[in-house]
Structure 1
Amino acid sequence: MSSHFLLSAQARTLSLKAIYKGGEDKAYMTFRRLRWPETDGEPVCPKCGCLDHYDISTRRRFKCAGCGTQFSVTSGTIFASRKLSFMDLCAGIAIFVNAVKGLSALQLGRDLDVSYKTAFVLAHKLREALSAEHKDATLAGEVEIDGAYFGGTVRPENRKEDRKDRRRKEHQSTERRVVIVMRERLGRTLTFVAKREAEGVKLAETHVAKGTKVYADEATHWDDLEASFPDAGRINHSEAYSADGANTNQAESYFARLRRMVSGQHHFVTARYLHQYAAEAAWKEDFRRLDNGRAFNRVIRLAMASGVSRAWKGYWQRQKYTAKAG
């Protein structure tokens, strides 16, 4: 009997022990190598693209010989103005990719010995970088589409006579949102957050190529898919989970991961940032067969290719420490 991939030695190609044993200099060179792979880690001016530079070794910065701009390996990226050491950043990213069902900011902060606020922002910056993996992608081939609601749970009152029918719209929280997933079979996963699952029809028309075989469940709002995708396949879950190739099993697999992430790790996710948790679950579902060393490198490359985060740079200063943490 074959074992799960994550149980195999092939899944473990990076460890925290190796990161800390390598030290700060090796971690720094890892960032240089992954930001500038074409020059094998040699700096490229982000302003003019010049390769000639002067080293400011005492500050780990460079000065462009062409335009005179000073820059560092993280200038203009999602890690701009970082305070953590490169070694701690590497460790944080390794812990993040190893947590295949998600990781709470509290646990990440304890593992790195940093404040909750630092860990919270770091994790969200990584999620923002991951969302760029399939940005503006168009799905084709065979695609499954489905939706699931998150948040908005209203706890029942203690006394029976005080309880309200929580199924009614007026008794539901404004935090209630639906995550709509579109997933290529053995391919990419796209996620969206909306107020109603029926909005998935318009999203499919935008992000799924014409002629694609689209599979959905028996919900009546998916009937409108047939106007754009005449070859749409439907499965009635009250009768079977799969019939003649029609199923949404891979979409359900994604939701199984996301639900474990939300309920098991984070416990509470605000509607404002639900799209980032959904994107994290999609990335980890798509690359679940990637060993942790390559996943680590891929995340750093995505972070180095992502610009300064307008949502997360200076987050706590803008929020006056009143933001709800997911």
Structure 2
Amino acid sequence: MTQHFLLSVKARTLSLRKVVTLSDEQAFSLLCSLRWGSEKMVCCPKCGVNHQAYFISSRKQWRCKHCRHTFSVTSGTIFAYHKLPIQVYLMAIALFVNAVKGISACQLSRDLNVQYKTAFTLSHKIRESLQVQKQLFPLSGEIHIDGTYVHSAPRPKNKKTDRVDRRLKTNANPNKRAILVMRERYSKQETLSNPHLVGAKKTLTFPILSENTDIVNKLAETYIEPNSRIHADENSAYDELMARYDLHRVNHQKEYRSDDGITNNLAESYFARFKRMYHGQVHKMSNIYLDNYANEIAYREDTRKQDNFTIFKDIATKCLATSSENAWKGYWQGHHRQIERVII
């Protein structure tokens, strides 16, 4: 029996010890290479010209030859105006990468020895960069689709006489939301060419108010190519997909996998990791940022076949490509995202 990838030495190409031992020069060079590819040819964040700008060595900054703008390696990025050393941000990304089921702000605060407020915004900045930089393109081939509800069961009242029937719509939790997931499976040709390419290839997540026909049809029409093979359960929300797709169903009241091999286990495996993060790590998710949490697990699922240093470089690159003008700039000064990202 072949060894699982995550147990092999190829999966362990980054350790926190390597990041901690980076000198100031090494950390600076690493960020430069991730953002521009070198320390010589840099791109001005104001005018966008890629050239060999004047380097102010005493301040680790450049001055643009065209617009005279002075900038650093983090200017215009999600790490702009940082007050902590660069190594701390690299350590935060390394901890984020190695925590395969997510990491809480409390744990990040203890590991980095920073305030909870700092760790909270830092972890959310990383999630926001994954959300902003993700690529949305239509899925094709075999797609597994399903939905799960979050915040659906508030703690009941102590006295039985004070409890209400939560099955009634009037007594439903107003914070109840659902996450719809679509996962494309690797094709047989891709699996034959590389035996490690099995399971899900690409994952798309959408926070929704409820799992209904209108939402499912709208999202499927946008993000699934026609005539694709869709695996779903017996929920009536997926009935109308039969008109445009090769729809296959599995009745979970009878079985998890039909005798014909029909299953939506790729969607179920996503929910398994998501709920492990929810109940085992963060414990509480605001609906305002539910899309960031859902997309984080989608990213972790899609990169599960990659070594951790490759994931580290990818996340750091996404952070450096994300604008500083976002909902997490001045969060603790009252600058909060006001609109919930939900599909209705």
User: What is the rounded CA distance, in whole Å, between the counterparts of 2:109 and 2:25 in structure 1?
Assistant: 23
Contact kept? 1:34, 1:41, Cα under 8 Å? no
Tell me which stretches of 4 or more aligned residues in structure 1 moved more than 4 Å.
Answer: none
2:19 corresponds in structure 1 to 19
- SS in structure 1 at match of 2:118: helix
| Structure 2 residue identity aligned to 1:211 | N
Aligned residue runs from structure 1 range 169-188, under 5 A: 169-186=169-186, 187-188=201-202
Q: Secondary structure at the match of 1:62?
A: strand
| Aligned equivalent of 1:56 | 56
2:257 is aligned with 1:242: yes
Partner of 2:41: 42
Separation (CA, whole Å) in 1 of partners of 2:223 and 2:322:
22
After TM superposition, the structure 1 stretch with the greater mean CA deviation from structure 2, 265-274 or 5-14, is 5-14
Deviations 1:251-288 (Å, cap 9, x if unpaired)? 10000000000111011111111110000000001101
1:273 to 258, 264, 289: 289
Give the alignment's Cα RMSD to 1 decimal.
Answer: 1.7
CA contact (8 A) 1:177 1:193 kept: yes
**What amino acid is aligned across from residue 332 of structure 2 in structure 1?**
W
* CA shift for structure 1 position 40: 6.5
Q: CA deviation at 1:57?
A: 1.8
Contact 2:327 2:335 in 1 (8 A): no
Q: Displacement of 1:3 after TM fit? A: 4.0
The residue that corresponds to 1:7 in the other structure is 7
Q: Which of 276, 291, 294 in structure 2 is aligned with 1:260?
A: 276
> Taking structure 1 as reference, are residues 94 and 238 closer, same or farther at Cα in structure 2, changes over 3 Å only?
same
Q: 2:206 touches 2:291 (CA, 8 Å); kept in 1?
A: yes
Cα offset, 1:132, TM superposition: 3.7
| Separation (CA, whole Å) in 1 of partners of 2:314 and 2:327 | 22
Aligned counterpart for 1:219 among listed residues 221, 232, 235: 235
Amino acid at match of 2:282: H
Instruction: Give the TM-score normalised by the residue count of structure 2.
Output: 0.88
- Where 1:188 maps in the other structure, the secondary structure is strand
SS of the residue corresponding to residue 59 of structure 1 reads coil
Compute the TM-score of the two structures, normalised by the length of structure 1: 0.93
2: CA distance, partners of 1:294 / 1:92: 15
Query: Which segments of 5 or more consecutive residues in structure 2 lack a partner in the other structure?
Result: 187-200, 337-344
2:76 maps to 76
CA distance in structure 2 between the partners assigned to 1:249 and 1:133 by the alignment: 27
Q: Which string of whole-angstrom CA distances, capped at 9 and with x for unpartnered residues, describes residues 139-165 of structure 1?
A: 111111100001142211112222111
Q: Secondary structure at the match of 1:233?
A: strand
- Identical-pair percentage: 45
Unaligned runs of 5+ in 1: 321-326
For residues 125-149 of structure 1, give each alpha carbon's deviation from its aligned partner in whole angstroms, at most 9, with x where no partner exists. 1111112453332111111110000
Classify the secondary structure of the residue corresponding to 1:250: helix
One-letter code aligned to 1:99 = A
The separation in 2 between residues aligned to 1:26 and 1:90, in whole angstroms, is 11
Distance 2:237 2:310 in 1: 40
| Residues 170/59 of structure 1: CA separation in 2 closer, same or farther (3 Å cut) | farther
Structure 2 SS opposite 1:146: strand
Q: Which residue of 1 aligns with 2:94?
A: 94
Secondary structure of residue in 1 paired with 2:21: helix
Q: Please give the secondary structure, in 2, of the residue aligned with 1:147.
A: strand
Following superposition, the deviation at residue 8 of structure 1 comes to 2.2
Which amino acid counterpart does residue 292 of structure 1 have in structure 2?
N
Once the two structures are TM-superposed, the CA of residue 309 in structure 1 deviates from its matched residue by 4.2
Matched, 1:315 2:314: no
Could you tell me how far apart the structure 1 residues matched to 2:266 and 2:75 are?
39
Q: What is the DSSP-based 3-state SS (H/G/I as helix, E as strand, rest coil) of the residue aligned with 2:205?
A: strand
How many residue pairs get matched? 318
Equivalent-residue separation in structure 2 for 1:40 and 1:319 (angstroms):
34
Specify which of 195, 206, 230 is matched with residue 192 of structure 1. 206
